[in-house]
Amino acid sequence: MNKRKYIIDTDTASDDAVALVMALRSDLDILAITCTAGNLSLAKTTRNARLSCKFADTYVPPIYAGSDRPLVKTLVVGENVHGSDGLGDMFYPEPDIKLQEGHAVDAILEIARTQDDVGLITLGPLTNVAMAILLDPLAMRKITHIIAMGGQYRMTNGCTANAEFNIWVDGEAAKIVLESGIPITMVPLDVCYGEAEITADDRNTLRSLKTARGDFFVDCNRHLLAYNQRSYAKDIISMPDPTAMAVAIDPSIVTSYVDVYTQIELRSSLSYGQLIYDFYNRHKKIPNVRLVTKIDAQKFKQLVFKTAE
By CB under 5 A, tell whether 124 contacts Ca ion.
yes
Alpha helices in 186-283 (DSSP H): 200-208, 212-219, 222-232, 240-249
By CB under 6 A, tell whether 149 contacts ligand BDR.
yes
Q: Which does 164 bind (CB under 5 to 8 A by kind): ligand BDR, Ca ion, none?
A: ligand BDR
| Overall residue count recorded for the chain in this entry | 309
- Closest approach of ligand BDR to the CB of residue 15, in Å: 5
109 vs 192, beta carbon nearer ligand BDR: 192
Judged by CB under 5 A, the chain residues 14 through 33 that form the site for Ca ion are: 16
How far, in whole angstroms, is CA 53 from its chain's centroid?
16
Options 7, 35, 40, 123; binder of ligand BDR; rule CB under 6 A: 123
Q: Decide: helix, strand or coil at residue 131.
A: helix
- Closest approach of ligand BDR to the CB of residue 193, in Å: 10
241 vs 296, beta carbon nearer ligand BDR: 241
Distance CA 4, CA 244 (A): 16
The piece of 7-15, 65-73, 99-107, 134-142 that touches Ca ion (CB under 5 A) is 7-15
216 close to 263: Cβ distance less than 8 angstroms: no
Measured CA to CA in angstroms, residue 122 lies from 142, 210, 222, 225 at distances of 16, 30, 23, 23
By CB under 6 A, tell whether 164 contacts ligand BDR.
yes
Residue nearest ligand BDR (C-beta atom): 165
Side-chain half-sphere of 248: how many Cα atoms within 13 Å? 37
- Dihedral through CA 278, CA 281, CA 287, CA 292, nearest 10? 60
Of 66, 40, 50, 42, residue with least CA distance to 17: 50
- Dihedral through CA 156, CA 169, CA 61, CA 133, nearest 10? 110
The piece of 56-64, 132-140, 159-167, 275-283 that touches ligand BDR (CB under 6 A) is 159-167
Judged by CB under 6 A, the chain residues 234 through 253 that form the site for ligand BDR are: 240-241
- Closest approach of Ca ion to the CB of residue 1, in Å: 30
Amino acid identity, position 47: R
65 close to 99: Cβ distance less than 8 angstroms: yes
By CB under 5 A, tell whether 123 contacts Ca ion.
yes
Distance CA 4, CA 12 (A): 22
Phi first, then psi: give them for residue 217, nearest 5 degrees: -60, -40
Residues 145-184 as x/- pattern, contact with Ca ion by CB under 5 A: ----------------------------------------
Of 276, 249, 286, 211, residue with least CA distance to 4: 249
By CB under 6 A, tell whether 78 contacts ligand BDR.
yes
Options 7, 8, 13, 18; binder of ligand BDR; rule CB under 6 A: 13
The piece of 8-16, 26-34, 225-233, 277-285 that touches ligand BDR (CB under 6 A) is 8-16
Q: How many residues bind ligand BDR (CB under 6 A)?
A: 15
Residue numbers at the binding site for ligand BDR (CB under 6 A): 13, 15-16, 39, 78, 81, 123-124, 149, 164-166, 189, 240-241
Residue numbers at the binding site for Ca ion (CB under 5 A): 11, 16, 123-124, 241
